[in-house]
Amino acid sequence: MGIFIQQVFNGLTVGGIYALIALGYTMVYGVMRLINFAHGDLCILGAFVGLTFLTGTAGSGHPGAALLLLAFVVSIVVVAGAGLLLELVAYRPLRRADRLAAVVSALGASVLIENGIMLIWGANVHVFPSGLLPATTWVVAGASITFVQVMIIAVSVLLMAALYLFVHHTRFGTAIRAAAIDQDTARLMGINVNRVIASVFVIGPALGAIGGLFIGIYYRQAYFTMGWTYGLYAFIAAILGGIGNIPGAMLGGVLLGLFNAFAAGYVSSSWQDAITFGLLIAILLVRPTGLLGERVAEKV
């Protein structure tokens, strides 16, 4: 029983991170029908920027919590800026081109960012400093739950709730949803579609930066190829929930996190990835629209 509860909490923590990253994939796909392959790398860029800020300010005498908060702000700003730049330079010129051109541009952006990270920070594994957060651990029914886990789960839930309210209950959120259904009609209704797309490339990477920094803090390490691994998982989460569907990405992230935790805990960690990809293919065969249904208008 203790192991079960433990895996549930581990799964929820990782699931919260997957969900934060998956939101970036699903929002971009919803509006542009583009798999932004560079998204995972942007998230890990967030982890590296945050790490550099934290190691640079360590020992400056300021309270740890304030520095950590600032690290998040700095990495959000940098990553959102990179996302916006990426949209302008690599995706905007290709909006009317063959879709595969944009796919290859996205792959190129991923290679570029990944190797950019390697050039700046090196190819070695960076270890996150300890003592940033209280090392408090609670024991619940035989499972130990750390402060970091509780923080990640709580912040993820809060951010997802905020995004849901923003997209479904504000004017700009309505514009995003309208552009996702039909860009041309949205334009005729006076919506500035360019601004909507730009905003998606700010919100997605911003949430992704938080997710990336969480990965660093949770696993206490960062390396430059991490973006692919976590990006792919988050993308699977987005498909699991139904691509283009924001609550779907949240549900998909949490379910995938739990699934992974149990696969690792009960089956075998060397086959964990294979099991996850097997699950992905099974979903695509049985229910390709995902659990909550995709929100993508198919162009005929």
Single residue of 73, 77, 104, 158 touching another protein by CB under 8 A: 104
Does 31 interact with another protein (rule: CB under 8 A)? no
Comparing CB distances to another protein, the nearer of 150 and 284 is 284
97-103: long-range pairs with CB below 8 Å, 24+: 99/33, 99/34, 102/32, 102/34, 103/34, 103/35, 103/37
Determine the size of the site formed for another protein (CB under 8 A). Answer: 46
Single residue of 5, 70, 84, 118 touching another protein by CB under 8 A: 118
Whole-angstrom Cα distance, residue 171 to residue 180? Answer: 14
Whole-angstrom Cα distance, residue 17 to residue 27? Answer: 16
Whole-angstrom Cα distance, residue 78 to residue 85? Answer: 11
Looking at residues 191 to 250 of the shown chain, list those that interact with another protein (rule: CB under 8 A). Answer: 228, 232, 235-236, 239, 243
Pick the stretch among 86-94, 163-171, 177-185, 199-207 that binds another protein (CB under 8 A): 86-94
Single residue of 1, 139, 188, 285 touching another protein by CB under 8 A: 285
- Taking residue 97's Cβ as centre, other Cβ atoms within 10 Å add up to 10
DSSP symbols for 42-54: HHHHHHHHHHHHH
Using CB under 8 A as the criterion, which residues of the chain lie in contact with another protein when the complex forms? 29, 33, 35, 89-90, 93-94, 97-105, 107-116, 118-119, 228, 232, 235-236, 239, 243, 270-271, 273-274, 277-278, 280-281, 284-285, 288, 298
